[in-house]
Structure 1
Amino acid sequence: MEIGGWNIGPLFPMWLQTQKMITQVDISGGGIQVGNEDAPWLMYLGSNKFSGPLPLISTTVAELDLSNNSFSKGLSHFLCEAKNGSYKLEILNLGGNYLSEEIPDCWMNWLGLTVLIMRDNNLIGGIPRSMKVLTDLRSLDFRRNRHNGPFSSSSENCTKLNKIDLAENGFVGQLPAWLGMRFPILIALILRSNKFDGEFPQELCHLKDLQILDLANNTFGRIIPRCISNFSAMVKGKKVLDDDMYLYGYYYQTPERECSGMIPLSTQLQSFDPMSLQGNKFYGLPLVVNCNLGGPVPNVEYDEDESDKNEVD
């Protein structure tokens, strides 16, 4: 049943509570603001006016969308006071609330999760170790929280991930080499606006299916390795289908610090929109003007033996 956008609030409708054959219901945007304990199904309840702590849910719920409400406090009650036995939950969207505190280390009963969205909250700390048991996870989205610490190895076992979005947090340190080895089908890696530093790991070039790479607003080194030519999926125009949103197209964005030098030949960079390389001092194709001087690109004779054709610094 899909009645999203209908103004059926502020009370949870009595007629819906008496239904026995419905297995899925979407009442998002319904203006419901009654206490969440009165709702018999906690499925697609996004964009309402629910508030207070997160409720406990039935072990039989498969998809739960509580996004864009006013839930607050921490996640311990929801995750750690779970009923005995594993939950069947596959998709959990808690984005756009006022959740706070650290994410508790209580993921052992949530083994079926494939999509986990906690963006736009006030969560702090790092990624808990027990998340390594979420081996079926495909999409991990912690964008716009207050997370910190290094890129945790907790996600190293989540080898089915298609999307990792940790943007706009306070993560620090170098990106681990295993990031390019453990996620063979990764499509989107979004780490913008953190405090990552160090050099661009060569191992990231093993991500042959990568279509979205956003490392902007960090403090990575100035070397862009030639092996980025392995990112061939970026220029094939494939449509990216994600479980919590539809992402079309692709882009590569260089970190927002001033890089310089000749753009490597025989790489996918020649296929990119010149606008994606703005704000640097590059020269060479695909640029038609010199980014540094604002004039035409110099007539450069590319020698196959030149060492600077392999990288931009």
Structure 2
Amino acid sequence: MDLTGKIPRDLGNLTFLVSLDLGSNNFHGNLPQEMAHLRRLKFLDLSFNSFRGEIPSWLDTLEISNNSLQGNIPEGIGNLHNMKVLSVQYNQLTGSIPFRIFNISRIEVIAFTMNSLSGSLPCGLCNGLPILNGLYLSINKLRGHMPTSLSRCSLITDNY
């Protein structure tokens, strides 16, 4: 598709919406706050657009790679206990990774490649991630040692 412009605020009126894929378009600007009304939304793909601003904390399933998002990853993302994929790769995110993310027991993929995230990884990295199979952390400003608990993530097939 080749849709352009900003996402209209009226999209928030589609409260029955379960899946929304607007990836690989030319959308720009901030995500409208009205999208927080999409309580049934299980899948959201906004990758490969030109969104700017901060990541809203009201998202449930997040695939928002390859944009121009800035700021910190909101702490509230760690409260989304049904999230399976968290992919915010290739943005301009800063700050540390909220440790709550590493307690989302249903998460299968965590992808933070190519941001400016800093800080260290928690010692018990895989204690709360029984089905994690992809962990992407390269090209950031993370420091410290890889936690030994990473060996408990026995399903990981990709780790960069």
Q: With structure 1 as the length reference, what TM-score do the two structures score?
A: 0.42
Candidates 242, 265, 273, aligned match of 2:123:
265
Q: Is the 8 A contact 1:146 1:169 kept in 2?
A: yes
In the alignment, structure 1 residue 129 sits paired with structure 2 residue 2: no
Q: Over residues 194-230 of structure 1, what are the superposed CA-to-partner deviations in whole Å (9 max), with x where a residue is unaligned?
A: 0110011001111001010110000011311111133
In structure 2, what is the Cα distance between the partners aligned to 1:261 and 1:202? Answer: 15
Q: Does 1:256 align with 2:123?
A: no
Q: CA deviation at 1:157?
A: 1.2
Quote the offset at 1:261 in angstroms: 4.5
Measured after TM superposition, the shift of residue 257 of structure 1 is: 2.8
Change in 2 beyond 3 A, CA 1:122/1:169? same
Q: Distance in 2 between matches of 1:274 and 1:165?
A: 18
Once the two structures are superposed, the pairs formed by residues 81-92 of structure 1 within 5 Å of their partners are none
2:52 corresponds, among 138, 163, 172, to: 172
1:234-313 alignment, distance < 5 Å: 234=107, 250-268=108-126, 276-280=136-140, 281-282=142-143, 283-286=145-148
Distance in 1 of aligned mates of 2:25 and 2:52: 14
- Structure 1 contact 263–269 (Cα < 8 Å) conserved: no
Q: CA RMSD in A?
A: 2.4
Distance 2:134 2:21 in 1: 29
The CA distance in 2 between the partners of 1:159 and 1:274, in whole Å, is: 27
Size of the aligned set, in residue pairs, is 146
1:212 paired to 2:70 = no
Which of 223, 226, 239 is the matching residue for 2:96? 223
Structure 2, unmatched stretches of 5+, are 152-160
Is the 1:228–1:267 contact (alpha carbons within 8 Å) kept by the matching residues of 2?
A: no
Match runs of 1:70-149 below 5 Å: 121-149=1-29
User: Matched residue of 2:106: which SS?
Assistant: helix
Task: Indicate conservation of the 8 Å contact 1:220/1:255, yes or no.
Answer: no
Q: Going by fraction, where is strand more abundant, 1 or 2?
A: 2
The residue aligned with 1:45 is none
Partner of 1:193: 66
Paired residue secondary structure (1:220): strand
SS in 2 for 1:233: coil
Give per-residue Cα distances to partners, 1:24-59, cap 9 Å, x unaligned. Answer: xxxxxxxxxxxxxxxxxxxxxxxxxxxxxxxxxxxx
C-alpha distance in structure 1 between counterparts of 2:11 and 2:135, whole Å: 38
Identity %: 26
* From 27, 31, 39, the counterpart of 1:159: 39
1:202 to 75, 79, 91: 75
